[in-house]
Amino acid sequence: MELPPRWAFLLFLLLSSTKASGSAVDKEEFQEELLLKPLPDRKVLAHFHFETRAPPCNSNGRRHHHLFPKAISQMVEKFRVKEMELSFTQGRWNYERWGGFDTMSSNNAKPPGVELWAVFDVPKEQVDASWKNLTHTLSGLFCASINFLESSTMYSAPEWSFRQASGSLRYGMLPREAVCTENLTPWLKLLPCRDNAGLSALMDRPSIYTSFYHSQRLHLTSNASDLEGLNPGIVLEQTLTVVLHPSSQRTSLTHISESYLQPSWSLSSIFGRKVNGRCALAKSSKVYLQLERGLVSELKKNIGSEGYDVEANFELSFNPDRVLTEENSRHGIGSSLLYEFSVDKYSNSKPFDLGLTWKFPVIWSCQQAPLHATRFLMGSGNERGAIAILLKSTDLNDSSPVADSASDGCELHVNIFQIVPWYIRVYYHSLQLFVDDQLKAVGAFVEKIHVMPSKDKISPGMMEMVLKLPCGVKSAALTLDFDKGFLHIDEYPPDANQGFDIPSAAIIFPNFHASMHFPSNDSERKSPMLSKFQESSPVLSYTEVLLVPLTTPDFSMPYNVITITCTVFALYFGSLLNVLRQRVGEKERLLKSKAAAVKTGRPSELLSRLSTKLRGRSQEPSQSPSESSPLINSKLVLKVLLMAALAVAWQYYFG
């Protein structure tokens, strides 16, 4: 009390500063969530979402991390990564059955193998170097052959089709990377609780790797400069999306309708494990069960006449803490439901094992992207072929997703982004476009096209294209001819006859945005997964990976080829030189000596040969004009002089 006001002020300052710094450290936070969603084809989607946030760097640049993985933050600092996404995927997302028009499919459906893209915050000429270093770092971090993306033949720099990034974006894919538990373990290591506690404890390796589709993703956003203030620091978002087939608990078909009944499942039946409480370090730990729009409206229809609630169709083993209904102003087909379960209250003694038991059969379908994209190869043989991308209209009448920008005269914009390795030599001038099975002029429908033709052994070919199709289009197909290249014997992989992969093409619908809005509780911060759902992102789908067989040389032949070719060259050189150096008189002399040999006996033949040899051509000129003898003499003199000069030179230089 006796403190002078000045001291009090100082003390206040001190206190407030410590408080501020303390809060800055505390901002490092971790949240874990799991979304479960029944899929129309009797499968269950499990989507784990872990988010770790770190506050922006202090001025001195050093930071002590409580939760945030140090390796990642060092990597971000070193290579100045602005945004990065790495995904390991096995299996192919079934866009027709599992949905193609929601945030789940456009964010978490990834092409098979490894996909990596990164945006760097460095000058343009350093981007490639940063990319190369980043690939090596990630390769070491995740025990994968991401370092193959270092070679300039494997990555490219899309300019506008994939996402807007003014030249600092690099994109690469490894379609053949085998994804396995050795990639998952380092990924789990980045979580504060690893897989010892919390939701990640559910990740039973056998059940994940026997799933139909699993995609493990790591998304990184960093805002080094805290200008926006909204999303400061590094946000590390790790997701694992698994599509599992629940083994039906009631296999015996007691009732005919049961064959149509969706399989009932619980966490323990699909993962073989239960949740024993949350990860102690997590700020929040929640499990959601999502019933999508189609399902909800179907359920309502099912029961609507009887006046029950949607919940009457199934039974949940735990009571949800909250039920969220999607706010949709536009779609009006019904809105999806989200049941929220907080894992906080469960523990070892009382594990959380969410189960869903269906009471009535229900059949529904997912919402589809406006066009369903497939890609295939045409042609046979190992010399040439064609890539065809077929866009087929999904049934629009059923669940019509109306274009967000309905004002632009009903046009369907489709971005196509495709990378083709250099040994597939695409003839871009052979681009043909078929709209509703009729060949159309390319200029009429292609609004914008950007092509980076491939350079042999240097860079892959890249095509970015905006198609502008009329809304009522039934199908659109585009074909591109290509020649298959021939590689050097060392460039073939060990299993050369398996063929080579063309990475997936990305089909983006820029004016369709998939987002789900759930009413937010203002009291607490929104869960990161739900806010992710809320972000409007264009609908994106990936096409199939194409397998192109290439001809192989005979791998056992190098020595034979070298020797045979060199023999032919020697044959050419030797025989031509031989013809050229034959002298006029030589053959005649040979003939004459032969004739002489025939005339005289054996011993005399030898003698005559010897004598001709000894006398050389002195015998010859007897018939030739006498003028030639001085010529020969001068030649002889010349030769002698030449030899002498050579000898002198030899002496001079080496003697």
Partner 1 sequence: MEKKKKRGFWRWLIASVMLRLILIYLPKTFNLASRPEVSTPLVSLRRLAEGYWLKQSSISPYAGSMYHGSPLLLSLLGPLTVKRIEGQPNHLLCSLVFVIADIISALLIRATGHTLQMAYRQSLNSLDIVDILKSSDLLSSGDIAALVYLWNPFTIAACVGLSTSPVENLVVILALHGACKGLVPLAAFGWVMATHLSLYPAILIIPVILLLGYGPDTPPRKLFLQKGYGKNGDSHSSDNCGQQETNQSKAEVTFSSRPVIHFLFWSSLWSTYVLVLCSISVKPHGSLWEMFQRTYGFILTMEDMSPNIGVLWYFFAEVFDFFRSFFMIVFHLNILFMILPLAIRLKHRPCFLAFIYIAISSMLKSYPSVGDSALYLGLLGLFLDELADMKFSFFLLCGYIGVSLLSPVMHNLWIWRGTGNANFYYATGMAYACLQIILVVESVSAVLNHDRKLRKISVTKPRDGNS
* Residue ranges in contact with partner 1 by CB under 8 A: 380-384, 422, 425, 427-429, 449, 451-457, 461, 483, 485-490, 551-554, 557-558, 561-562, 564-565, 568-569, 571-573, 575-577, 579-582, 584, 624-625, 627
Tokens representing 188 are 């789990």
Q: Kindly give, in sequence order, each residue whose CB lies less than 8 Å from that of residue 96, ignoring residues fewer than 6 positions away.
A: 366, 368, 372, 394
Nearer to partner 1, 382 or 399 (CB): 382
Min CB(234)–partner 1 separation in Å: 38
Nearer to partner 1, 16 or 551 (CB): 551
* Lateral strand order in the sheet of 475-484: 371-378, 384-393, 475-484, 424-435, 438-440
Report the half-sphere exposure of 271 (CA within 13 A, side-chain side). Answer: 23
Min CB(616)–partner 1 separation in Å: 20
Min CB(470)–partner 1 separation in Å: 24
Min CB(57)–partner 1 separation in Å: 41
**Which residue do the tokens 């309708």 mark?**
257
Min CB(443)–partner 1 separation in Å: 11
Min CB(572)–partner 1 separation in Å: 5
Nearer to partner 1, 140 or 574 (CB): 574
Residue pair 153/114 in contact (Cβ under 8 Å)? The answer is: no
β-bridge partners, 239: 49, 217
The CA-atom distances, in angstroms, between 157 and each of 154, 222, 417 are 11, 20, 11
β-bridge partners, 46: 36, 242
Nearer to partner 1, 463 or 505 (CB): 463
CA distance 455 to 37: 45
Tell me the backbone φ, ψ of residue 284, rounded to 5 degrees: -145, 155
Tokens representing 471 are 């809304």
Nearer to partner 1, 182 or 456 (CB): 456
Q: Please say whether the dihedral angle defined by the alpha carbons of residues 592, 596, 597 and 598, taken in this order, is positive or negative.
A: positive
CA distance 15 to 472: 67
Helix (H) and strand (E) counts in the chain: 15, 26
Nearer to partner 1, 20 or 579 (CB): 579
DSSP state letters, 582-618: --HHHHHHHHHHHHHHHHS-HHHHHHHHHHHHHHGGG
The CA-atom distances, in angstroms, between 254 and each of 260, 314, 316, 586 are 12, 18, 22, 107
Min CB(457)–partner 1 separation in Å: 8
Nearer to partner 1, 69 or 385 (CB): 385
Min CB(176)–partner 1 separation in Å: 22
Nearer to partner 1, 450 or 517 (CB): 450
CA distance 113 to 406: 36
**Which residue do the tokens 């495709």 mark?**
418
Min CB(166)–partner 1 separation in Å: 19
Nearer to partner 1, 20 or 584 (CB): 584
Nearer to partner 1, 58 or 552 (CB): 552
Min CB(339)–partner 1 separation in Å: 53
